Amino acid sequence: MTHTLHQACLTPARASQGLRRRSVAVFAKDRKGFGSTPTQAPAEQAKVNKRGKVTSRQGTVSPKEQKKSVEQYKEQYEEWQNAPPDLEDTELPQVVGDRMLKRIVACTGLPILVSLTVYPLFYYLKVVKDIDVPTWAVYITSSLTWGGALLGISYGVLSASWDPAREGTTLGWVEFQANLPALIDRIRSKGGR
């Protein structure tokens, strides 16, 4: 061990690197700690280059195979083009998405704002005014405000008009009454498959 330190120019960092390298070399030589010895693939599967070494690169594809794959791709593309449109894959119109986002922001803004101002209010009451606010009041207030924000997200989506040509009412109650049964029917039809 001292001989290894002298060989590494007497610096601890270089000595530890030398010891690490030596220990790895010993493990590699003994094949302990590296798992089982790797097995080679059968000779008929291994590609050998001109010098007799096994190559890991794939060979070139023959023109016949290329032509066959191009024809298969064209057939798949034609089938995809001629297939009827799937109603589940239709996109949401941009106008409807913008309406939903506006409603979500409007319906969740107030509960989130209240929840963020409630904590400093309880702190002010406890520290400055010496009013002992029970912790259950903080928990209930927090649950109600964040729960209200969650319901605001749902109401914002369901109260927006899903018809791109129609704007909808201000509060969206009419749209909510129309969209909720449509959503429930959609969920039931998917579950019945």
Q: Which DSSP symbol is given to 108?
A: H
The answer to whether position 12 is within a domain reads no
Exposure string for 171-193, b = 16+ CB within 10 A, e = fewer: ebeebbebbeeeeeeeeeeeeee
Cα separation of 133 and 145, whole Å? 18
Average pLDDT by stretches of 10, the chain with 193 residues = 45 48 49 55 61 71 82 82 65 89 93 92 92 91 94 93 87 90 86 59
48 φ/ψ sector (left φ>0, alpha ψ -120 to 50, else beta): beta
The answer to whether position 168 is within a domain reads yes
The answer to whether position 142 is within a domain reads yes
**Structure confidence at residue 98 (pLDDT):** 92
The answer to whether position 115 is within a domain reads yes
**Structure confidence at residue 139 (pLDDT):** 92
By residue range, what is the domain housing residue 104?
94-185
The answer to whether position 8 is within a domain reads no
> What domain count does the chain have?
1
Residues contacting residue 182 through CB under 8 Å, at least 6 positions apart: 162
The answer to whether position 81 is within a domain reads no
The answer to whether position 165 is within a domain reads yes
